[in-house]
Amino acid sequence: MDPAAPQTSLQDQFVEEAIPVGLPWRILISGGLIFALTVLVALGLDYGYKPYLEEQVTAVDSQFSSLTKNLTEADQKNIVVMYSQIANLKEILEKRTSVNTVFKFLEEQTIPSVYYTEAVMNGEEIKLSVKGFAPSINDLSQQIAIFEKNKSIHSVVLDSVGLQAGGAVFALTLQFNAEAFN
């Protein structure tokens, strides 16, 4: 060691850092306020809103029981019949084939030169009867071939064909497979 070098004590080498006094108290007070607010909200819901909701439920229950006392037995039977009809109608509507699905199918499977003038769908038999116009017998035969290649069609029946100036007027019946529109 060099005697001329200034000597520093061990305490001088390790400086103590001063901790700000206000910060921990501010955090503690903010946390306490949030906790107190949470407790107040929970107590308000438990002792204020819960009895209000129970009172509303009791009022609705009493109204319901008074309504059932006023209904005659015939009215109750009518309500049951109406409910069963609505349930059956809902089931039928969920199972029915959408008209949009049929139109989309026709649009995708029809060649541009052929157009339809009439379409009738029989949902029970899953049959589609169409009448239309094709510019030539060749176009009509191409259209029938497209329908016959489609896997969702069980059979194609050409009901009638007639020649007119500029093309052929036709009527087709398409019998679909059972799972065609499911």
Beta bridge partners of 169: 133, 162
30 and 89 part of one domain: yes
Q: Distance of alpha carbon 124 from its chain centroid, rounded?
A: 27
Q: Which residue has the tokens 């157009």?
A: 115
Q: What is the mean pLDDT of each run of 10 residues along the chain (182 residues)?
A: 60 65 77 95 93 94 85 86 91 70 87 92 86 94 93 92 91 87 62
Whether 2 maps to a domain, the answer reads no
Starting at the edge strand found earlier in the chain, the sheet holding 115-122 runs 115-122, 127-134, 167-176, 153-164
Side-chain half-sphere CA neighbours of 140 within 13 A = 23
Q: What is the pLDDT of residue 2?
A: 57
User: At residue 120, what are phi and psi to the nearest 5 degrees?
Assistant: -130, 125
Q: What is the pLDDT of residue 130?
A: 94
Residues 6+ apart with CB under 8 A from 135: 113, 114, 166, 167, 168
Q: Which structural domain, as residue segments, surrounds residue 108?
A: 99-176
103 and 82 part of one domain: no
* Total domains, the chain: 2
Whether 16 maps to a domain, the answer reads no
Q: What is the pLDDT of residue 111?
A: 94
Show which of 95, 125, 151 is a domain's final residue.
95
In the three-class reduction of DSSP (H, G, I as helix; E, B as strand; rest coil), residue 155 is classed as strand
**Rounded Cα–Cα distance for residues 82 and 78 (Å):** 6
Q: What CATH number does residue 136 fall under?
A: 3.30.1360.100
Q: What is the pLDDT of residue 97?
A: 59
**Do 180 and 152 meet the contact criterion of CB atoms below 8 Å apart?**
yes
Q: What is the pLDDT of residue 71?
A: 80
Q: What is the pLDDT of residue 23?
A: 66
Q: Which residue has the tokens 């001063």?
A: 18
Is pTM beyond 0.85? Reply is: no
**Do 102 and 126 meet the contact criterion of CB atoms below 8 Å apart?**
no
Whether 10 maps to a domain, the answer reads no
Q: What is the pLDDT of residue 21?
A: 60
